[in-house]
Chains A and B, each alone.
Chain A
Amino acid sequence: MGQSLSSQLVNLLAAFLLLIAFAMLSQRRILTLIRLFAWQGAALTASTLIVAYTTGQVHLYFSAALTLLLKVLLIPWVLHRLIDRLQIRWDVETLINIPATMLIGIGLVIFAFALAAPISELANTLTRATLGIAMASVLLSFLMMIVRRKAVPQVIGFLAMENGLFFAATSATYGMPLVVELGVALDVLVGTFIFGIFFFHIREQFDSLDIRHMEKLKQD
């Protein structure tokens, strides 16, 4: 009974994660995007905690704590400071209009679900049903990186993709070894800082964070 309730809770959180991935895809404002990213981290923390509690895997508690610290508190705070410094509060531009993006998103979800179905049948973990959702949120974040024109939303897409991968690891095999997780977490943190520095350089060079300017080879 406890097993099935926690499995249901994890499924619910997975659905929430997918919902947030779509919300991020359709979001026009950067501030809300960052808030959504923090929520995604919170959902991830909660689901990791539930899996840790049910299966008694101690290292999952650490990774939940790590997720909470990094993805709910630290990185959103860094991003907030970044956009304050860069003074970017304008609406995000997309390459394709939002309803079309959503339709592509549905296609990706169907693809991910179809891909995950045979794997889920083989698995006997508590969280097997959520693998499809984890893959879908990875693909959706990838789509977000593709359709956004500005650098900051692209980075948020990258970070969200890492969230999706993390969730996939938890749902497929109860998480990666702690050393790997620590390494990934550090990478993400360092990545965020480097991106932050890059933003300033891009803006200094091109007076804008629109990455279209980087496609020009020469300045005329």
Chain B
Amino acid sequence: MTDAPGIAFQILQSVFVVFAAPLLLGWANQCRAWLQNRSAPSILLPYYTLAKLFHKDAVIASNASPLFRITPYVLFGCMWLAAGIVPVLATDLPFAPAADIIALVGVFALARVFSALAAMDIGTSFGGLGARREMLIGFLAEPAMLMILFTAAFISGSTQLNTIVETLARREFAIYPSLAFAAVAFLMVLLAENARIPIDNPTTHLELTMVHEAMILEYSARHLALIEWAVAIKLFAYTTIGIALFVPWGIAAAGDWGALPLAFAALAAKLALAGAGLAFLETLLAKLRLFLAPEFLSTAFLLGVLGMLTHFLMQG
């Protein structure tokens, strides 16, 4: 397990994820601009934004506690850890046994708790409002996410994401209706968890409708950059979880350098499709009223449960 090629793969994947994540965001934004008939920003815009923010001086409220300062680092760390656990390029990474899918959901929850606490730390009304909304969405999205992951876990007989991906990627082709349910539910959870359009508008400037943006209003410069980067990595991690669960073909095994180009190509193609699909969905949908968010997420939960039930009914 702890052999050198495995560790090299782990490092490669972790570095790759961190630096490729803003690219996915930039690609999704570019696609969205095209679809909405606007002139598209550069695909590298998220990198420029991050570089700009890192060169600014941070302004921190005088009543901010240390919690407020460490939260960006915690967020970034959590997302990076999550991205290290998910099999993005290769399965059987040395990090993978560290956490199964339940712990993975826990890592996301930890990040959420910290960002909500930091939002309330300064004591502005928008921060508290954003934190409460985020927790409302979070506590509904988490059970749905777990149900989806359990469906995949039942099929492969393990809660290790690694084993799940290996089972699903190396099986003989079969149609699983339960996975179809789970895939739809996963898409809904992905949109909600990453503050995308039907639940939250990432580009809004209207404070009253903000959820995620309201929480980070007080951050500036390098702290804001870290948070923005963490958001990009989170989107990337969620997308790759989706890829790992539902379209895992082409993934390499750790230490298998020969399979790496194919894994890269497959991943790039899937991510390009996912980004375009995300932009398409965001163009198609309108933002829901906040009080319709529970309905949206309970539908996702329902689909997750249905997926699990159909698995038991059809044994496959």
Contacts and interface: CB of A to CB of B under 8 A. Distances in A.
Interface string B275-316: 000000000000000000011001100110110011011111
Contact of A113 (B175, B181, B312): B312
Contacts of B106: none
Contacts of A113: 309, 312-313
Interface stretch (A6-14, A52-60, A65-73, A199-207): A6-14
Interface string A125-150: 00001001100000000000000000
A8 B302 CA distance: 22
A115 to B, nearest CB: 11
A12 B180 contact: yes
B201 to A, nearest CB: 22
A105 B177 contact: no
Given A26-B299, A99-B295, A102-B298, A12 B309 contact: no
Nearest to B178: A15
B259 to A, nearest CB: 28
Contacts of B316: 11
Contacts of B174: 8
Interface string B179-220: 011001000000000000000000000000000000000000
Nearest to A4: B174
Nearest to B310: A15
A9 B299 contact: no
Contact of B177 (A12, A26, A102): A12
Given A8-B174, A9-B175, A14-B177, A22 B313 contact: no
Contacts of A156: none
B302 A12 contact: no
Nearest to B302: A102
B294 A15 contact: no
Interface in A1-56: 8-9, 11-12, 14-16, 18-19, 22, 26
A117 interface: yes
B309 A11 contact: no
A28 to B, nearest CB: 10
A109 B306 contact: yes
A102 B299 contact: yes
A129 B175 CA distance: 14
Interface in A107-125: 109-110, 113, 116-117, 120
Interface in A163-214: none
Contacts of A102: 298-299, 302
Given A26-B299, A113-B312, A113-B313, A18 B306 contact: yes
Contact of B302 (A9, A11, A106): A106
A113 B314 CA distance: 10
A133 B298 contact: no
A19 B305 CA distance: 12
A110 B299 contact: no
Contacts of A132: 313
Interface string A83-113: 0000000000000001100110110011001
A56 B294 CA distance: 47
B302 A22 contact: yes
A25 B41 CA distance: 41
A11 B177 contact: yes
B295 A106 contact: no
Contacts of A19: 181, 184, 303, 306
Given A99-B294, A113-B313, A11 B306 contact: no
B88 to A, nearest CB: 28
A134 to B, nearest CB: 11
B175 A133 contact: no
A205 to B, nearest CB: 34
A95 to B, nearest CB: 16
Given A12-B177, A98-B295, A133 B302 contact: no
B299 to A, nearest CB: 7
A22 B295 CA distance: 13
B309 A109 contact: yes
A18 B310 contact: yes
Contact of A133 (B303, B310, B312, B315): B310
B180 A117 contact: no
Nearest to A98: B295
28 contacts: A8-B175, A9-B175, A11-B175, A11-B177, A11-B316, A15-B177, A15-B181, A15-B310, A16-B177, A18-B310, A19-B306, A22-B302, A22-B303, A22-B306, A98-B295, A99-B294, A99-B295, A102-B299, A105-B302, A106-B305, A106-B306, A109-B306, A110-B309, A113-B309, A113-B312, A129-B313, A129-B314, A133-B310
